Structure 1
């Protein structure tokens, strides 16, 4: 088997549904499997997978064992030569897996491969390609200097060697994953991708960023940004430094001070909340399905107008709620439009193929939203 797509889910059934559908499309004619491992979700995720995706391998944990342990469980049963660790709050373009395999087979010293990730607003997620977060680089990022933290030496749509990839999409040979012992289970959530990326380079392989392959990531959907999140996130960074950097009194003090300061700032931002996004002046649905349009119109406050894909040829779309029907327009084109028309007052929603709901997010690090119809 060529590829195993591994999706760890926790209480995001609607996003998981879109993720599976997009992965199935991207698999195409590849000999591949999809493995969903669920960390004791309280929603209807497992029932949905069993009912609607009988070919998907489902592993149901009775408790939330965390990111690292759950992914290691799934990899242990994966049959693919390559594995792709994939977040449930993502959607992959139709050619993403093929592009990754083609690139991977040309790079004999490849460790892991990452791709261009965009958020729900159409903007690039800079964590798609990062440098090693040394204490100095992390401190500089904290005070607003991100050049040393992110791999800015590679442009967003280019490709090249990087040190750290994001765990929302990590593509690699299963043999390499096993060689470096997979995700470190000392991390419950956060930091595992940095640790795995570092272990791969320490083993003599190279991590690589491929800007021509795309994945949408509704960053923040799988986690609540609360006190427990902050404790886990910054606690993970302390674990990483303790494991991989020579400890001394000055370093320990610097890390603790940096972590404390970051937690304080993040807590303040969370308490203040996020600014609301303005309501677009009009709403359009990119579809030829009038029945779907009628159903959606009954639950959306704004009047909806059905339009064809040709509307994007004149470049006049702004301050508009844009709903994409993924049965009518493929994810590859959806992502292209989102990138092209970002930051123009537009908001984007996607109706996954065959589904009676739309998904979207108007903040790069906020939970996404679902509207059923």
Structure 2
């Protein structure tokens, strides 16, 4: 088997449905399998997978064992030569996997490949390509100076070697994953992608950023960016520094500052609302039950070439459009002021989207 797509899910049933539908489209011409590991979700994620995706291999954990452990369980069941570690709050393009197979097959000494990620508003996510977060670089990042943290020498649309890739999408050979011991289970959540990337580099492999394909990553769906998040994040970085760097006073100051921030962030972030004055629905079907729930006025369009106004909601119907086209259009429309995007999966009666990494995404049933 060529590819195993590993998806660890926790309480994001509707994002998972959208993700799985996009993955199915992307593996049509590939000898591939999809493995979903559910970390004891309290929603109906597992029931949905069983009903809508009977060919998906579903592993139901009876506890939330964390990101590293969950993915390691999935990889242990994988039969593919290549692995794609994929977040459930992502949408892949139809050609993502075929492009990466061709690129990966051309590389010797291959480590991990990451691709271009955009958020739910169509904006590029700079964590798609990063440098090693040494103590000095991390301190500068905390102080708002990101130079040196992100791999800005590699252009967004290009390809090149980078050290650190993001866990929302990681492509690598199963042999390499096993050779470095997979994800370190000392990390419950956060930091494990940095650790795996760095372990692969230290083992002598080359990591690459591949900007010729783009996926959507609705950030922050499984956890909110609050004080608990901050404590976990900086706790993970403490594990990383102790493991990979010689401990010193400078290191201790950085960790202390990071953990201190966790207590400062005592309130959950406020909801960020974007004013929408109208809606545009790209669909061949005018569904009145959907129309009633959208910001008025509502205009149904069948061409992405039609101009739209600012302060609008754009709804993409995947019964009419493919993901590659939608991503391209999102990037273009995101240049306008206050445009929010919603997505209607094939054969579904809900739209979904996310306007901020600080808050959970929004699901609207109709």
The normalised TM-score by structure 2 is 0.96
2-side partners of 1:133 and 1:38: how far apart? Answer: 30
CA distance in 1, matches of 2:239, 2:280: 48
1:110 positional shift: 1.4
Secondary structure at the residue paired with 1:38? strand
| Equivalent residue, structure 1, for 2:99 | 99
Q: Structure 1 residues 264 and 153, CA, compared in 2 at 3 Å: closer, same or farther?
A: farther
Give the superposition deviation at 1:118: 0.3
1:188-199 aligned at under 5 Å gives the runs: 188-199=188-199
Question: What is the root-mean-square deviation in Å for CA atoms of aligned residues?
Answer: 1.5
Which structure 1 segments of 5+ residues have no match? none
Per-residue Cα deviation, 1:51-89 (whole angstroms, up to 9, x for no partner): 111000000000000000110001011000001000000
Residues of 2 paired with 1:272 and 1:212: CA distance? 34
Q: CA deviation at 1:261?
A: 4.6
Which stretch of the first structure deviates more once superposed, 150-159 or 220-229?
Answer: 220-229
Partner in structure 2 of residue 307 of structure 1? 301
Q: TM-score, normalised by structure 1?
A: 0.94
Distance 2:150 2:271 in 1: 24
SS at match of 2:83: strand
Structure 1 residues 102-121: aligned runs within 5 Å = 102-121=102-121
Question: In structure 2, what is the Cα distance between the partners aligned to 1:262 and 1:355?
Answer: 42
- C-alpha distance after superposition, 1:325-366 (max 9, x if no partner): 011111111111111111422111010111111011111443
Q: What SS is found at the alignment partner of 1:283?
A: strand
Q: Distance in 2 between matches of 1:349 and 1:242?
A: 42
| Mean CA deviation greater in 134-143 or 251-260 | 251-260
- 1:310–1:300 Cα change, 3 Å: closer
Distance 1:189 1:272, change over 3 A: closer
CA change 1:275–1:56 in 2 (3 A) is closer
Equivalent residue number for residue 310 of structure 2:
318
The match for 1:165 is: 165
Deviation at 1:255, TM superposition (A): 2.5
User: Contact 1:286–1:323 at 8 Å: present in 2 too?
Assistant: yes
Count of residue pairs the alignment pairs up: 365
Structure 1 residues 230 and 45, CA gap change in structure 2 (3 angstroms):
same
Q: Among 322, 332, 336, which residue is 2:328 paired with?
A: 336
How far apart, CA to CA, are the structure 2 residues paired with 1:316 and 1:43?
36
Aligned to 2:342: 349
Q: What pairs with 1:194-233 in structure 2 (closer than 5 Å)?
A: 194-233=194-233
Spell out, residue by residue over 1:164-200, the C-alpha distance to the aligned partner (whole angstroms, 9 max, x if none): 0000000000010000010000000000000000000
The question of whether the paired residues in 2 share the 8 Å contact of 1:309 and 1:329 is answered with no
- CA deviation string 1:224-267 (max 9, x = no partner): 2233222211100000000000112x1342223331354356x1
Structure-to-structure mapping, 1:74-153, within 5 angstroms: 74-153=74-153
In structure 1, distance between residues paired with 2:271 and 2:363 = 19
- Structure 2, unpaired ranges of 5+: none
- Deviations, residues 150-175 of structure 1 (Å, cap 9, x unaligned): 01101111110001000000000001
